[in-house]
Amino acid sequence: MLLATGGAGYIGSHTVRALRAAGHEVVVYDDLSEGHRDAVGDAPLVVGDLLDTGLLQRTLADFGVSGVLHFAARCYVGESMQQPRLYWRINRDGTRSLLAAMAACGARALVFSSTCAVYGVPESLPMSEDLHRAPINVYGETKAAMEDEIAAVEGLRSGIFRYFNAAGAAPDGSLAERHDPETHLIPLALRAARDGTVLTVHGDDYPTPDGTCIRDYVHVCDLASAHVAAIEDLLAGGESFVANLGYGRGVSVRQVLDAVRRVTGRPLEVHVGPRRPGDPAELYADGARARERLEWTPAYDDLDTIVEHAWATLRD
């Protein structure tokens, strides 16, 4: 049995679906602060807070959990700067609570959701796992700190994934990205195209070919398949690892907006506002390690496909 904290959220719910399709039993542990009960399907759901070590421990013991996927966190960069204590409480203290419960129950394999935000402004591109980590926001700081604490736990086999920009949705339209507030470009642009509203682009004077920021958008189902490979590897005795999850392909904001116009067949009006503080010009992964270490083979490495799958869940 596996346990997925945050399994009612965006990446967690897609991964729970993939794990179950691969034949694993999964129990979801989520306080539903951001997640959705209906995203869990008919997998068992324990509604609880990460900080409740006793409930975590009982859940691990009652379900006989051997491996954990830890998605639950607060994950808004701006909010982390306004409410740093909240981020240290949920992301650090919540992860410590999970590690304590796992130690008490003998669950010795963990996959952790980290982020490319741990790198801050990268020294070089594409970004390899060996780059110096220098987060520039509290969210990234909490994730970098937990990477270190997890790696230091004796006897724990851990897989630390640094996701780039998760995007897209289940190809059959049955699961979606439902964040509130939504801060991610693709759903925001699709909603603007659907509703005929104006989308704000944060800066077009970056030192990139078209002046807008460049990111590495990864289909959420490709993230999910990497998690399946990782937990299976760790449970089979594989060594701990740290790996980026990105395609290694940078796409600009303007290229995303063109894809949104192509896929929706609708006009999309854009207002160019000022840069957002703390947005590096370019972030894209060196994704070789995940491909080699886990034989990860992405199935949806195509911008229009990602946008099409997201659109299928948003169109009216």
Ligand X SMILES: NC(=O)c1ccc[n+]([C@@H]2O[C@H](COP(=O)([O-])OP(=O)(O)OC[C@H]3O[C@@H](n4cnc5c(N)ncnc54)[C@H](O)[C@@H]3O)[C@@H](O)[C@H]2O)c1
Catalytic sites, residue numbers: 139
Radius of gyration of the chain (CA): 19
Pick from 104, 131, 110: which is nearest to 120 by CA? 131
Give the range of 9-17, 18-26, 123-131, 152-160 binding ligand X by CB under 6 A: 9-17
Whether residue 138 contacts residue 87, with contact meaning beta carbons closer than 8 Å, is answered with yes
Nearest to 35 by CA among 184, 183, 177: 177
Q: Residue 32 CB, nearest distance to ligand X (Å)?
A: 5
Residue placing its CB nearer to ligand X in the complex, 163 or 311: 163
Q: What are phi and psi of 77, to 5 degrees?
A: -60, -50
Site string for ligand X, 179-218 (x = CB under 6 A): x---------------------------------------
The answer to the question of residue 69 lying near ligand X (CB under 6 A) is: no
- Contact with ligand X (CB under 6 A) among 4, 9, 146, 176: 9
| Per CB under 6 A, 16 contacts ligand X | no
Lay out the site mask for ligand X across 29-48 (x = CB under 6 A, - = otherwise).
-xxxxxx-------------
Rule CB under 6 A: say whether 120 interacts with ligand X.
no
| SS3 category, 285 | strand
- The rounded distance, in Å, linking the Cα atoms of 38 and 7 is 11
Token code pair at residue 4: 């997925």
Whole-angstrom Cα distance, residue 284 to residue 214? 8
Q: Determine, following the binding rule CB under 6 A, whether residue 243 of this chain makes contact with ligand X.
A: no
Q: How far is the CB of 15 from ligand X (least distance, A)?
A: 9
Q: Which long-range contacts (CB under 8 A, 24 or more apart) does 152-156 make?
A: 153/99, 153/103, 155/108, 156/99, 156/102, 156/108, 156/109, 156/110, 156/240
Q: Which stretch binds ligand X (CB under 6 A): 71-79, 96-104, 192-200, 230-238?
A: 71-79
- Select the span of 27-35, 80-88, 276-284, 287-295 touching ligand X (CB under 6 A): 27-35
Q: Is 3 a binder of ligand X (CB under 6 A)?
A: no
**CA 216/CA 165 separation, integer angstroms:** 6
165 binds ligand X (CB under 6 A): yes
Tokens at residue 22, please?
A: 């691969």
- Both tokens of 189, joined, read 């642009």
SS3 87: helix
Note whether 284 binds ligand X by CB under 6 A: no
Indicate which single residue of 71, 247, 284, 296 sits in contact with ligand X (rule: CB under 6 A).
71
Q: Footprint of ligand X on this chain (CB under 6 A)?
A: 5-6, 8-12, 30-35, 49-50, 71-73, 75, 90, 94, 113, 115, 163, 165-166, 179
